Chains A and B, each alone.
Chain A
Amino acid sequence: MNQTAPRYTGTAIALHWLLAALVITAFGLGLTMIEMPGITPTKLKMFNYHKWLGVTIFGLAVLRLLWRLFHPAPPPPPSMPLWQRRVASVTHWLLYALIFAIPLSGYFYSLAAGFPVVYLGLVPLPVLIEPDDQLKEVLKQTHFVLNTTLCTLVIIHVGAALKHHFINRDDVLKRMLPRFKSRN
């Protein structure tokens, strides 16, 4: 509709959706693998894929944050009340914080459990802490609580985007969609 409304940059859009897909995959994989009984090759593969996804997410999160610092988000629509702007801003920055904190808590959890992370089975990543049973439990809980928080925030985030699109009928969702969709 409004072709001139400010949009996110192509890079920001690509990073947003790529990260969304990777986070959802890693989240689903994480929930599935912890439910699998015993130890099987499939389960071990899933643990490794989950860790590789986490490392990828962390790397992309760094790129995304750097990009964001030099390319500010388009301003919210003028009709948006101040409290909503504030809630949106807090939600966005918490989501940013979590895409760093969750991979890090998982990484240190793995190290505390005595399993160093070897990215893609090829690149050994630094072993920064020694195995530690007590820390392992703390990090396991931390990883879980941070993920529960992420899940809640994503529901709010998606709910708010859909509300903007279908109820407020503004450009908030469209400016984060790839071009070909915004022409519909």
Chain B
Amino acid sequence: MRRTVGSWGALLAAGAIYAVTALAQAVDAAGSSVNAVFTQMGVPVTAKFKRFDAEVNFDPAAPAGAKAWFEVDVASFDLGDAQYNKEVLKPEWFNAAAYPKASFTSSAIEAPAPGKLVVAGTLTIKGKSQAVKVPVNYRDEGGRRVFEGELPIQRLYFAIGEGEWKDTDMVADKVVIKFKIATAAG
């Protein structure tokens, strides 16, 4: 538990450093979204994280030098039904009491083509971290810069759904995180 708190502290500090040292573009919360699509007995169900925080430091002239960080409040996960929303906070799912946040911190960004990035970084959910690479498209529209991408993950790696919920016939292992982050086009 203590280690967890320590690592979260480090992460928050890292976030704070980005905010201070880099000219991070302000994230437009209304234009941004972080959703997760999971499959329950073949049925795709989309749920959204209603509260999240993101930092993006991006210069289109030097995209490879960009940095990104985002953090979601797992208690804000909304499946559109109060009973479901309560269920997913339990220890078998997010264990929101012990792990209130899930986060992503970029480590290296490639820019293979204009408008396209490949962002490598660390995804941390329920205290477990995984190195991931996610393709991201970006475009400027209406004075904003919009970054969009999809990251398929395996929920069981992060122990999302323990005990009887491990059954992947009930809830498939693959969950797709879909994100859209809008910032001021700076």
* Contact residues of B: prevailing secondary structure: mixed
* Per-residue interface assignment for chain A, residues 101 to 140, with 1 indicating a CB less than 8 Å from any chain B CB and 0 otherwise: 0000000000001111110011010000001010010000
B41 within 8 A of A: yes
Nearest Cβ on chain B to A147's Cβ, whole angstroms: 20
A162 within 8 A of B: no
With CB as the reference atom, state the residue of chain A lying closest to B83.
Answer: A39
Within 8 A of B (CB), among A133-180: 133, 136
Beta-carbon contact of B167 and A39 below 8 Å: no
Contact A121 B41 (CB under 8 A): yes
In the complex, are the beta carbons of A40 and B44 less than 8 A apart?
A: no
Complex Cα gap A113–B81 (Å): 7
The answer to whether B43 and A113 have CB atoms under 8 Å apart is: no
B46 at the interface (CB under 8 A from A): yes
Given known pairs A114-B46, A116-B44, the reply for A41 and B170 (CB within 8 Å) is yes
Q: Using known A-B contacts A113-B80, A133-B80, determine if residue A122 contacts B167 with beta carbons closer than 8 Å.
A: no
Q: CA separation between A118 and B42, bound complex, in Å?
A: 6
Q: Is A38 an interface residue (CB 8 A)?
A: yes
Least CB separation from B43: chain A residue: A118
B19 contacts chain A at the CB level, 8 A cutoff: no
Q: A38-B87, A39-B87, A41-B170 are in contact. Are A114 and B80 (CB under 8 A)?
A: yes
Chain B residues with CB below 8 A from A131, complex form? 80
Residue B84 is within 8 A (CB to CB) of chain A in the complex: yes
Interface of A is mostly: loop
Complex interface bits, B15-31 against A, C-beta within 8 A gives 1, otherwise 0: 00000000000000000
Tell me the complex Cα distance, A136–B79, Å: 13
Q: Which residues of A contact B164 (CB under 8 A)?
A: 40-41
Set of chain B residues within 8 Å of A113, measured between Cβ atoms: 80-81
Q: Determine whether the beta carbon of B42 is less than 8 Å from that of A122.
A: yes
**Residue numbers in A under 8 Å from B170 (CB-CB):** 41, 44-45
Question: In angstroms, how far is the closest chain A Cβ from the Cβ of B78?
Answer: 10
**Complex contacts, B131 vs chain A, CB 8 Å:** none
Q: How far is the CB of A82 from chain B (nearest CB, A)?
A: 50
Judging by beta carbons under 8 Å apart, are B79 and A114 in contact? yes
Q: Does A9 belong to the interface (CB within 8 Å)?
A: no
Given contacts A38-B87, A41-B164, contact A117 B80 (CB under 8 A): no
Is B40 among interface residues, defined by CB-CB distance under 8 A? Answer: yes
Residue of B nearest to A49 (CB): B41
Which residues of chain B come closer than 8 Å to A56, judged between CB atoms?
none
Does B43 contact A117, Cβ atoms closer than 8 Å? yes
Q: B165 within 8 Å of A by Cβ?
A: yes
Interface string of B42-53 (1 = CB under 8 A from A): 111110000000
Supply 15 further A-B pairs (C-beta < 8 A) apart from A38-B86, A133-B80: A38-B83, A38-B87, A39-B87, A41-B165, A44-B170, A48-B41, A113-B80, A114-B46, A115-B40, A116-B43, A121-B42, A122-B42, A124-B42, A124-B44, A131-B80
Pairs across A and B, CB under 8 Å, 28 listed: A38-B83, A38-B86, A38-B87, A39-B84, A39-B87, A41-B164, A41-B165, A41-B167, A41-B170, A44-B40, A44-B170, A45-B170, A48-B41, A113-B80, A113-B81, A114-B45, A114-B46, A114-B80, A114-B81, A116-B44, A117-B43, A118-B41, A121-B41, A121-B42, A122-B42, A124-B42, A124-B44, A131-B80
